[in-house]
Structure 1
Amino acid sequence: MRLSSMADYAVVTMSAAARHCGGSRVSAAQLAEETGLPVPTVQKLVSRLTAAGLLRSSRGVGGGLKLARPAAAITLADIIEAVEGPIALTPCVDDARHECSLDASCAVKPHWGVVGAALRGALADVPLTRLAATAQATETGR
């Protein structure tokens, strides 16, 4: 399993935003500069992360971005789902999608939901505070 580049970049962007969580707001351009990501990519991610309720954006003097809730209350699962949608290893767990020719007779299909729930649970156990602290320690050489 591998995350898409956008999901990876969303985690990097949210980690950078979390390091500003002391109440100060940050711009998408600042996040781009801090992360090394292109500004248009960060702007696209900020839009998705805001729509998902992970970031809050305000305009005008003193405006900018800040976490919509405490970093400890945002998980890796939340960030990935904001960009990728629900976490699932195979499309067959979504009853609305029928992309597999084995769908009607697959003996494994009933088990994918359990596997997906375990994966989501593992990702939900990683709070943004841990990701931001790890990134900060790496940057400072700790």
Structure 2
Amino acid sequence: MLRISKLTDYAILMMVELTRENEMLSAHVLAERVHVETPTAGKVLKQLAGAGLVESFRGANGGYRVTRGADEISVAEVIAAIEGPIAMTECSVEPGLCHQESSCNLRGNWQRISVAVARALEAVTLAEMSAPAQRPQEPLRIMTLHTA
């Protein structure tokens, strides 16, 4: 199963919360609102600020604020800020990262899959994430093979 990390999940929660009212929030208040520990919120916010998704302001009235509206920030941007480039395999990112590269001819297909996943995530904005789902989605059913 492919999964995003807990930090990435928290990052999406925090970004959605920050875009709700487009207000500035401290790491402590944000942590309380999304039910994470303050040090965890601080770690995530630092990464989001490094990616230019939030601005930080020091001082008694300081905190964090998003740099763009919820309809201008994709889920892919938040994932990339925490996880790095969206790719299914190491060889999907750039040549030379995989020691099997010279004997494997799957790289092009993994790149195709990585591009499809990235495009799907780029198509979903934080505004869409914060809105209630229009209708329940059927779970994706993928056949699993069991060997005896």
Identify the TM-score tier after normalising by the shorter chain: 0.7 to 0.9
- After superposition, give the CA deviation of every residue in 1:44-81 in whole Å (9 maximum; x if it has no partner): 00000000000011112432111111111101000000
User: Percent identity over the alignment?
Assistant: 36
Aligned counterpart, 2:114: 116
**How many residue pairs are counted as aligned between the two chains?**
131
Structure of higher CA gyration radius: 2
What's the TM-score, normalizing by structure 2?
0.82
What's the TM-score, normalizing by structure 1?
0.86
Aligned counterpart, 1:129: 127
Query: How many angstroms apart in 2 are the aligned matches of 1:72 and 1:124?
Result: 11
TM-aligned CA distance change 1:133 to 1:109, over 3 Å? same
CA RMSD of aligned residues (A): 1.5
Contact in 2 for aligned 1:20/1:26 (Cα 8 Å):
no
Contact in 2 for aligned 1:15/1:132 (Cα 8 Å):
yes
Contact in 2 for aligned 1:75/1:125 (Cα 8 Å):
yes
Bigger RCO (CA 8 Å, 6+ sep): 1
* Structure with the largest fraction of helix: 1
Unaligned stretches of 5+ residues in structure 2: 134-148
Contact in 2 for aligned 1:13/1:31 (Cα 8 Å):
yes
Unaligned stretches of 5+ residues in structure 1: 136-142
Query: How many angstroms apart in 1 are the aligned matches of 2:52 and 2:123?
Result: 19
Amino acid at match of 1:33: E
Q: Secondary structure at the match of 2:56?
A: strand
1:65-84 superposed matches below 5 A: 65-84=64-83
